[in-house]
């Protein structure tokens, strides 16, 4: 931990405490940093693939630090060492939607949270684009999927990838998307979904991908799926689109 204190000492000054958070994803280590002036989060990655993702997240947060339309953690710094990369951002007080749904005492409360989740994503997809891209998102993702599959860095295989390449859905207008829009990657604050986290994939892309990942945990639960679509009103993915994005493309990421 002493080495980590040095990384952002120039930005944070005195660091009084560093605690590794118990909830860890498979891509990075997350630590809570306490200083006399505030609390911060540091994400660290060591594998090449995840270091690339962390670098992308740093770029997105840095761009979004100049706007107020997309709620994300505040960017403070990014450091690349020989064997690891580290991203420093603001600590945001809240719990993931996944945790909030588990804590919800009634179905009515779960429905309210899911409806709010739908509204939150709808707002992202409907707003004027802040991030730019000169490429077709799906073509880029399929190219990345091939690299990951050929190097053994994906659950999906080349047979599945060839099916995806040969059976692409009709194009839709690209919008700002989160890129990994699951209930794990939004924070609930004071009972409302208010913040996107883990934004490495946020870009101009296919909104059906976000939608498919968002509904994956309750797609077969009509009592929750209906409230989601009361909030997310702009489009409803077909069964074929859901299978393409969630059961197909997501296998490579």
CA 171 to chain centre: 23
Predicted confidence at residue 116, as pLDDT, reads: 98
| Residue keyed to tokens 């980590």 | 4
More confident site: 4 or 250 = 250
Max intra-chain CA distance, the chain: 56
> Which of 128-132, 188-192, 208-212, 236-240 has the least mean pLDDT?
128-132
CA distances for 168 relative to 17, 83, 147, 247, angstroms: 49, 38, 18, 14
Distance, in Å, from the CA atom of 110 to the CA atom of 105, rounded to the nearest integer, reads 8
Mean pLDDT within 196-213: 97
- The DSSP code for 195 is E
Predicted confidence at residue 95, as pLDDT, reads: 96
More confident site: 129 or 146 = 146
Q: Are 86 and 40 in contact (CB under 8 A)?
A: no
Mean pLDDT within 78-103: 96
Distance, in Å, from the CA atom of 42 to the CA atom of 19, rounded to the nearest integer, reads 10
């Amino acid at each position: 931990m002493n080495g980590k204190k040095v990384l952002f000492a120039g930005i944070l000054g005195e660091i009084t405490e560093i605690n590794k958070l118990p909830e860890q994803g498979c891509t990075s280590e997350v630590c809570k940093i306490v200083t006399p002036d505030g609390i911060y989060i540091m994400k660290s990655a060591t594998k090449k693939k995840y270091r690339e993702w962390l670098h992308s997240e740093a770029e997105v947060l840095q761009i979004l630090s100049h706007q107020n339309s997309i709620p994300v953690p505040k960017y403070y710094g990014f450091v690349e060492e020989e064997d690891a990369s580290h991203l420093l951002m603001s600590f945001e007080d809240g719990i993931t939607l996944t945790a909030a749904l588990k804590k919800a005492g009634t179905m009515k409360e779960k429905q309210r949270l899911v409806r709010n989740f739908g509204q939150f994503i709808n707002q992202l997809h409907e707003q004027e684009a802040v991030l730019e891209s000169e490429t077709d998102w799906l073509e880029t993702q399929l190219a990345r999927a091939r690299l990951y599959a050929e190097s053994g860095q994906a659950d999906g295989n080349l047979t599945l990838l060839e099916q995806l390449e040969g059976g692409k859905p009709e194009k839709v207008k690209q919008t700002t998307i989160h890129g990994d829009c699951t209930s794990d990657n939004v924070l609930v604050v004071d009972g409302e979904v208010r913040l996107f986290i883990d934004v490495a994939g946020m870009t101009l892309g296919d909104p059906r991908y976000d939608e498919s990942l968002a509904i994956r945990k309750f797609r077969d639960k009509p009592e929750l799926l209906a409230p989601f679509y009361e909030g997310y009103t702009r489009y409803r993915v077909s069964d074929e689109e859901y299978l393409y994005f969630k059961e197909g493309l997501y296998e490579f990421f």
